[in-house]
Amino acid sequence: MPRPRKKRRREMKRLPRNLTTLPEFDRQAWPEGLVTRRQLRELGLSPGGHGPVAVLRCKACAYRPDQSCIHPTRAWLYNVELARPKRTPTLAQEWALDRAMAARSTCPECRRRYYFCLPLRTQGVCDACDKGYEPSPDTYMPSAAPVVDQLAA
């Protein structure tokens, strides 16, 4: 039986703040005109091909002003003046996305379109078809097209 491995504590990399890197600001102390990516999205803007102009330091680094923040909780700050409006998809792109989502959420056996993606790779059909029960009507979309009998009578 192999011995359990000892967990090694990762050493914290301490990088001194350098004047050649992006400027860093603490939370609630950055200048006007700089926003995070999430704030850009709320304003209906995108970075527009421009990179970040500053770094928003995490809460843990607020007491170490001489060291650079390397934590994953840091955020990038973008200039609002360089941002562009978000692109809107064309009608053909929206139709293509709707068809792709319909393919992922439609059962090939019962032809119901659900409000969620189905496990088609592993299961192949919806849970109702796989387990043999009737699904509740609030889980799938009612069919918009009327069912037409195509009997050759």
Checking if the pLDDT of 19 tops 80, the result is: no
| Mean pLDDT value of segment 34-40 | 93
Taking Cα atoms as reference points, which of 73, 72, 85, 75 lies closest to residue 40? 85
Report the greatest alpha carbon distance in the chain: 86
Checking if the pLDDT of 145 tops 60, the result is: no
Q: Coil, helix or strand for 106?
A: strand
pLDDT in tens, 56-102: 877 777 677 667 766 767 788 999 999 999 999 999 999 999 999 99
- Report angle CA 97, 138, 123 to the nearest 5 degrees: 65
Distance of CA 15 to the CA centre of its chain: 30
Q: Which residues contact 114 (CB under 8 A, 6 or more apart)?
A: 105, 106, 107, 126, 135, 139, 140, 141
pLDDT at position 4 is: 75
Checking if the pLDDT of 153 tops 60, the result is: no
**DSSP-derived secondary structure letter, 11:** P
pLDDT at position 10 is: 59
Distance CA 29, CA 77 (A): 12
Comparing 20-34, 37-51, 82-96, the range with the smallest average pLDDT is: 20-34
